[in-house]
Amino acid sequence: MNTNSDFGFRIPNWRAAVFAALLVLPNGTAVAADAPRLAGDLDAKGLADAVAKDHGKVVVVNFWATWCVPCREEYSDLVRLEKAYRGRGVAVLGVSIDFSKDLPKVEKFLAANHPEFPNYMKRSGGDDQDFIDAVDPKWGGELPFTVVYARDGKKARVLSGKQTYADFERAVTDLLKP
């Protein structure tokens, strides 16, 4: 996991971050002590490394942003999916595409939704096209966007736009079959 952050702090791992002490965001907004926190920021290589750490599992990577209405609408289904399938070999990762100045909004969104899976911010700087193409050459940059990796680490499903719980469930159950 990438622990180098542009945010001015280091996060050893997301589980520890969940239990972090009361956080006061740069805009003065207080986030509850048990609120989920960002696991850090990452670039395309960092994302590939994060996915590789869950080798052997079906890994769902969801790209979202607080400014993206359909992303916000589908996010609770990802939270539900991860809880339902974590014991069956499914891991979920979230990647926020928000502007770095909107870190407080990202933290607030996570606090409201309580994901029990790691969420990162795409590292600011660089060319977004390189990141988009590294994730999937056919991705045009629209959000939300979800990539599902099979147990062998290979990209197996690409879901563009807002999905339902049934869509997410179908994508992972297909890949969990022996």
Partner 1 sequence: MNASRALFSLLVTVALAAPVLADGPAIGAPAPAFDLKTLDGKPFSLADAEKSNKAVVLMFIATKCPVSNAYNDRMRDIANEYGKKGILFVGINSNSTETESEVKAHAQEHGFGFTLVKDPANKVADLYGAQHTPEIFIVGPDGKLLYHGRIDENQEQPTKVASPDLKNALNEILAGQPVAKAETKAFGCSIKRV
Measured from the CB atom, the residue of 3 and 124 that comes closer to partner 1 is 124
Neighbours of 6 (CB within 10 A): 13
Cα angle for residues 127, 132, 138 (degrees, 5° grid): 140
Contact between 38 and partner 1 by CB under 8 A: the answer reads no
Taking Cα atoms as reference points, which of 79, 106, 78 lies closest to residue 5? Answer: 106
Contact between 153 and partner 1 by CB under 8 A: the answer reads no
- Site residues for partner 1, 89-108, by CB under 8 A, read 97, 99-101
| Residue 96 β-bridge partners | 64, 121
Measured from the CB atom, the residue of 73 and 174 that comes closer to partner 1 is 73
Q: Is the link from the previous residue into 144 a cis peptide, with omega within 30 of 0?
A: yes
Contact between 34 and partner 1 by CB under 8 A: the answer reads no
| Count, residues near partner 1 per rule CB under 8 A | 23
Contact between 129 and partner 1 by CB under 8 A: the answer reads yes
Could you say which of 21, 140, 154, 178 contacts partner 1 (CB under 8 A)? Answer: 140
Contact between 73 and partner 1 by CB under 8 A: the answer reads no
- Tokens (6 digits) for 57: 């599992």
